[in-house]
Amino acid sequence: MKTHELKCHPAPFAAVMRGEKTFEFRKDDRGFEVGDKLKLREWIPEKTDIGVGRIETTGYTGLSEDFIVTYKLAGRFGVPEGYCVLGIRMDTLTAKNIAELEAELDEVTSERDELAGRLNVYDNLDEDDFERELNAAEIAALPSIELDQFLADLHREVRAVGGVWPV
């Protein structure tokens, strides 16, 4: 498997980044194969009006993304000799949506903060209070069916030793 660095004009580059364009039509002069990596680099070929009243100069913009070749069509179905159509998908190592990563980070941070808060509470408890808190937390974590069974078993044990079940 090879890595191919390729220039990509701004409009197609933007379409690929949005997931609207999942293919590349290229001159087949590099020996592209399924499994190869394409590093698409946004490139402005000439002084260009980019549509917001600005003219961009020629060259690379600094934006790039890695893609994997998933399919290659060459020499048939209307594809001219010497050219190919490459099916591409974003490289999975870089494809994760930034919003998804931020949400995962927020979730993990919240869990960490919650646990840290619990530990701070437990730091101020004596041994007996800590034991009660721990037991309550274990019971709260049980699914309701398990909790019902747990309470029934506890009730039987209390009665077996002549105790009275609290009301």
Q: What is the pLDDT of residues 46-100, one digit of tens each?
A: 765 656 655 556 788 888 889 999 999 998 899 999 999 999 998 765 545 666 6
Whole-number pLDDT of residue 144: 58
Spatial separation of the C-alpha atoms in residues 91 and 37, rounded to whole Å: 8
Mean per-residue pLDDT, 32-36: 94
Q: Of 82, 70, 80, 74, nearest to 38 (Cα)? A: 70
Residue 50 — left, alpha, or beta (φ > 0 → left; ψ -120 to 50 → alpha)?
Answer: alpha
Q: What percent of the chain has pLDDT over 70?
A: 56
- Which backbone phi and psi does 64 adopt, to 5 degrees? -155, 160
Whole-number pLDDT of residue 82: 93
Are the C-beta atoms of 165 and 155 separated by less than 8 Å? yes
Q: Of 17, 8, 1, 23, nearest to 94 (Cα)? A: 17
Whole-number pLDDT of residue 37: 93
Domains for the chain: give ranges and CATH numbers: 3-95 (2.30.130.30), 99-157 (no CATH)
Give me 145's structure tokens. Answer: 């069916």
Question: Is it the case that residue 137 has pLDDT exceeding 80?
Answer: no
* The model's pTM: 0.50
CB burial readout 125-141, b (16+ within 10 A) else e = eeeeeeeeeeeeeeeee
Q: Is the dihedral of CA 96, 99, 105, 111 positive or negative?
A: negative
Whole-number pLDDT of residue 109: 74
Whole-number pLDDT of residue 26: 93
Give me 45's structure tokens. Answer: 């070929």
Average pLDDT, the chain: 77
